[in-house]
Chains A and B, each alone.
Chain A
Amino acid sequence: MTSVAHETVPRGEPGGAPVRVLIVGADNAVVTRIRAWVDESLFHLETAADLPRAMRAMIAAPAQVVLAHLGDGPDDLTAWVDALRGMPGSPRLVALTSRPTIGLVLQGERAGVLDVLALPLQREALDAALRRVSESGGDVVPLPAVQPHMVGDYALVGESPAMLEVYKVIARVASSTATVLVEGDSGTGKEVIARALHRHGPRAAQPFVAVNCAAIPENLLESELFGHEKGAFTGAVARKIGRFEQATRGTLFLDEIGDMSLPLQAKILRAVQEREVERIGGDVVPVDVRLIAATNHDLAASIKAGRFREDLYYRLAVVTMRLPRLVDRGEDLLSLSAFFINEFSRTHGRTISAISRSALDALHSHAWVGNVRELRNALERAVLIADGSALRLSDLPDSVRGARRVAALPAPSDAPLTLAELEARHIAMVLASTGGRVATAARILGVHRNTLTRKMREYGL
Chain B
Amino acid sequence: MTSPLRLERALRLMPAVEALEPLRMLLMAASETDDARKWSSAGMYLTVGKRSVNVDTLRGQLDQLMPRITDHVTRLYEAYITALAAQHAGDGAAAAHALARAADEEAGVRRLPQARAWLEVAFRVATELNDRGPEIEILNRLGETDLALGRPMDASRFFQRMLVLAEAGFDHDNVIRACHGLGRAALARRQYEGARAWCLRALRHAAGGSHALHTVQLERTMALTSWRQGFKDEALERLAVAITTAESLDAPAEMALLLKTRGEVQASTGAAEEALASLRESGAWLRRAPDDPALRTDLHLALADAFELARNPVEAERELRSAEQVAIEGRLTDRLVDVYLALGRLSGTRRDETGFVFFEQAIELAHIMGWNLALEGHVFEEYGRFRHQLGSRDEAQAHFERAARSFEASGDSAAAERLRTETASATA
Contact = CB atoms under 8 A, between A and B. Distances in A.
A296 B361 contact: no
B35 A437 contact: yes
B314 interface: yes
B354 A216 contact: yes
Nearest to B256: A52
Contacts of B34: 437
B144 to A, nearest CB: 28
A34 interface: no
Contacts of B74: none
B314 A381 contact: yes
Given A55-B280, A83-B280, A238-B394, A212 B36 contact: no
Interface in A54-106: 55-56, 59, 73-75, 79, 82-83, 86-87
Nearest to A373: B39
Nearest to B282: A52
B399 interface: yes
A217 B394 contact: no
Contacts of A217: 8, 49, 357, 360-361, 364
A212 B402 CA distance: 28
B16 to A, nearest CB: 15
Contact of B40 (A51, A55, A214, A384): A214
Nearest to A382: B314
Interface residues of A, number: 50
B304 to A, nearest CB: 14
A186 interface: yes
Contacts of A55: 277, 280-281, 284
Interface string A345-382: 00010000000000000000000011101100100110
Contacts of B364: 217
A187 B42 contact: no
A402 B281 CA distance: 26
User: For B8, B287, B360, which residue has the most chain A Cβ atoms within 10 angstroms?
Assistant: B287
Given A212-B354, A220-B360, A437-B35, A384 B42 contact: no
A256 B255 contact: no
Contact of B50 (A79, A215, A381): A215
B287 A79 contact: yes
Interface residues of B, number: 43
A369 B285 CA distance: 35
A384 B314 contact: yes
A186 B37 contact: yes
A435 B280 contact: no
Given A59-B277, A296-B36, A186 B41 contact: yes
A51 B35 contact: no
A171 interface: no
A219 to B, nearest CB: 8
B314 A377 contact: yes
Contact of A187 (B40, B49, B402): B40
Nearest to A374: B39
Contacts of A444: none
Contacts of A74: 287-288
A191 B41 contact: yes
A50 B364 CA distance: 43
B283 A83 contact: yes
Contacts of A369: 35-36, 39
A343 interface: no
A125 B314 CA distance: 37
B274 to A, nearest CB: 8
A115 interface: no
Contacts of B38: 370
Contact of A214 (B12, B42, B280, B315): B42
Interface in A29-67: 50-52, 55-56, 59
23 contacts: A52-B255, A52-B281, A52-B285, A55-B277, A79-B284, A79-B287, A83-B284, A87-B280, A186-B37, A186-B41, A191-B41, A214-B40, A214-B41, A217-B360, A217-B364, A219-B8, A237-B394, A255-B42, A348-B312, A369-B35, A370-B36, A371-B39, A377-B314
Interface of A: 50-52, 55-56, 59, 73-75, 79, 82-83, 86-87, 185-187, 190-191, 212-220, 237-240, 255-256, 259, 294, 296, 348, 369-371, 373-374, 377, 380-381, 384, 435-437
9 A-B pairs with the lowest CB-CB distances in the bound complex, closest first = A370-B39, A237-B398, A215-B45, A238-B394, A214-B42, A52-B284, A186-B40, A74-B287, A215-B42
Interface of B: 6, 8-9, 12, 34-43, 45-46, 49-50, 255, 276-277, 280-281, 283-285, 287-288, 311-312, 314-315, 354, 357, 360-361, 364, 392, 394-395, 398-399, 402
